[in-house]
Amino acid sequence: MSQSDPSKIFSRIAGTGGYLPERVMTNKDLEKIVETDDQWIRDRTGIEQRHISADSQTTSDLAYEAAILALEMANVKAEDLDLIVVATTTPDKIFPSTATILQQKLGNRGAPAFDVQAVCTGFVYGLSVADQFVKTGMAKKVLVVGAETLSRITNWTDRNTCVLFGDGAGAVVLESSTEAGILSTHIHADGQYEDLLHVPSGPSKVAQTDDIAERTMNMKGNEVFKVAVNTLSRIASETLEANNITKEDLDWLVPHQANLRIINATAKKLSLGADQTVVTVNRHANTSSASVPLALNEAVRDGRIQRGQLLLLEAFGGGFTWGSALIKF
Ligand code: UT7
């Protein structure tokens, strides 16, 4: 694993940003909407509250707030970006892409801008795509955002799902560097699990009834849980092996925030304690593609994650999709 190699180009994280909508919905608030209780949600998921967008806020609005902070930290001007990637499952419109709407808000013109759709693994997919552009010299300054307004595709009458999700956005600015940054990314999918976690209808597969369940998230939680735990353990091993390192070399696990029990199982497998695992699920719930960059941003900004440390990012989501990134911060 090289620290600095003038013959090689790396993508280095130059800045991070995050944004959560102002409105907080607690488990107690949910008790008034569906038959659930605060203790059940805490025990089964670790979630205590989630943030919900205002009616006027779109995914690109959330993405914009996170992007501005990441650009500021990186000391990069929006007009100098030469690629914008937005990972989202809840785009503002069917088209144009949320990335081009964000581009307009940021005042960038001409850079390629596109969305990546890999549900909860979206940010890791976006990071992987951006990394290929940087490594091949196609781009030098890249904005990668994970942003979601999941509250818009939540069935607020279904207790199996509505307690699990929240809204938010996280962003990173990548810069081309001869110093080590992203060391490897690993992305996968297996479409045979489509029906375990999905929104049944869309622009092409038109809803056949007025049932709200057709237009909102459906999940067989228990089955997803089992596959998630096993898959995340496999992707962690794959990442360590590909980089010829051991779990002892890792400084931080920055996991997807779906369920505290899943996070703890992955951390345990890697022998990482609570002081080496970034947890935001208690306050953010599952924000899909925003969850990993929001967690990363929080630990960078509060000083836990330091320059030079080795981070393992991982995620798992609908599709199924899953992925990881090993990063020298
Ligand atoms: O980000 C993408 C990946 N997503 C995930 O990784 C999520 C994976 N799944 C999970 O996190 C968990 O499976 C859940 C948190 C969704 C559910 O936890 P569980 O321990 O798997 O519970 P369960 O689905 O087996 O349900 C247990 C019981 C059921 O009652 P019975 O049938 O045992 O009487 C449910 O009806 O809990 C009941 N239940 C609830 N009770 C109170 C389900 N939802 C609720 C609720 N409040 N909100």
Residue 5 lies in a domain: no
Residue nearest to atom 3 of ligand 1 (CA): 317
- pTM: predicted TM-score of the whole model, two decimal places: 0.97
Catalytic site includes residue 162: no
Residue nearest to atom 30 of ligand 1 (CA): 160
% of residues, the chain, pLDDT over 90: 98
Q: Residues near ligand 1 with C-beta < 6 Å?
A: 36, 40, 44-45, 120, 159-160, 163, 221-222, 224-225, 228, 258-259, 262, 286, 316-317
**What is the 158 CA–ligand 1 centroid distance (Å)?**
11
Are 32 and 135 in the same domain? yes
- Among residues 116, 149, 179, which one ends one of the domains? 179
> Domains in the chain: how many in total?
2
Say if residue 163 is in the same domain as residue 234.
no
Q: Is residue 126 part of a domain?
A: yes
* Test site for ligand 1: of 225, 257, 284, most ligand atoms within 8 A of the Cβ: 225
Confirm whether 1 is domain-assigned.
no
Q: Whose CA is nearest to atom 42 of ligand 1?
A: 36
* Active-site entry in 27, 155, 259, 286: 286
List pLDDT tens digits, range 35-82: 999 999 999 999 999 999 999 999 999 999 999 999 999 999 999 999
- Residue whose CA lies nearest to ligand 1 atom number 4: 258
pLDDT at 316 over 50: yes
Boundary-marking domain end, from 125, 158, 179 = 179
Same domain, residue pair 108 and 224: no
Could you tell me if 136 and 220 lie in one domain? no
4, pLDDT greater than 70? no
**Catalytic annotation on 256?**
yes
**Which protein residue has the closest C-alpha to ligand 1 atom 20?**
44
At 3, the pLDDT band (50, 70, 90 cuts) reads low
Does 175 share its domain with 253? no
Whether 254 maps to a domain, the answer reads: yes
> Does 154 fall in a domain?
yes
Ligand 1 centroid distance, CA of 260 (Å): 13
Q: What is the pLDDT of residue 2?
A: 44
Q: What is the pLDDT of residues 77-114, one digit of tens each?
A: 999 999 999 999 999 999 999 999 999 999 999 999 99
Establish whether 51 is a catalytic residue: no
- Asked if 213 and 114 sit in the same domain, the reply is no
Same domain for 175 and 188, yes or no, is: no
- Kindly state whether residues 79 and 203 are assigned to the same domain: no
pLDDT at residue 5, as a whole number: 67
Same domain flag for 70 and 163: yes
- Looking at the structure, tell me whether residues 102 and 120 fall in a common domain: yes
Looking at ligand 1, which atom is closest to the CA of residue 30?
48
Regarding whether 248 and 163 lie in a shared domain, the answer is no
Please identify which of the residues 51, 108, 120, 155 carries the catalytic annotation.
120
Within-domain flag for 191: yes
Average pLDDT over the chain reads: 97
Mutate to test the pocket of ligand 1, among 50, 119, 222 (most ligand atoms within 8 A of CB): 222
- 152 CA → ligand 1 middle, Å: 21
The whole-number pLDDT of residue 95 equals 98
> What is the span of the domain harbouring residue 97?
10-179
Average pLDDT over residues 124-150: 98
Rounded to the nearest angstrom, the distance between the alpha carbon of 265 and the centre of ligand 1 is 17
Q: For residue 1, name the pLDDT band (cuts at 50, 70, 90).
A: very low
Residues 174 and 187 both lie in one domain: no
3 assigned to some structural domain = no
* 168-217 tens-digit pLDDT: 999 999 999 999 999 999 999 999 999 999 999 999 999 999 999 999 99
Is pLDDT at 312 greater than 60 in this prediction?
yes
Residue 137 lies in a domain: yes
Domain boundary among the residues 179, 199, 219 is at: 179
For residue 150, the CA-to-ligand 1 centroid distance in Å is 18
- For the domain that residue 273 is a member of, what is the CATH number? 3.40.47.10
**CA of 319 relative to ligand 1 center, distance in Å:** 19
Asked if pLDDT for residue 128 goes beyond 70, the answer is: yes
Q: What is the 3-state secondary structure (H, E, C) of the chain?
A: CCCECCCCCEEEEEEEEEECCCEEEEHHHHHCCCCCCHHHHHHHHCCCEEEECCCCCCHHHHHHHHHHHHHHHHCCCHHHCCEEEEECCCCCCCCCCHHHHHHHHHCCCCCCEEEECCHHHHHHHHHHHHHHHHHCCCCCEEEEEEEECHHHHCCCCCHHHHCCECCEEEEEEEEEECECCEEEEEEEECHHHHHHEECCCCCCCCCCCCCHHHHCCEECHHHHHHHHHHHHHHHHHHHHHHCCCCHHHCCEEEECCCCHHHHHHHHHHCCCCHHHECCCHHHHCECHHHHHHHHHHHHHHCCCCCCCCEEEEEEEECCCEEEEEEEEC
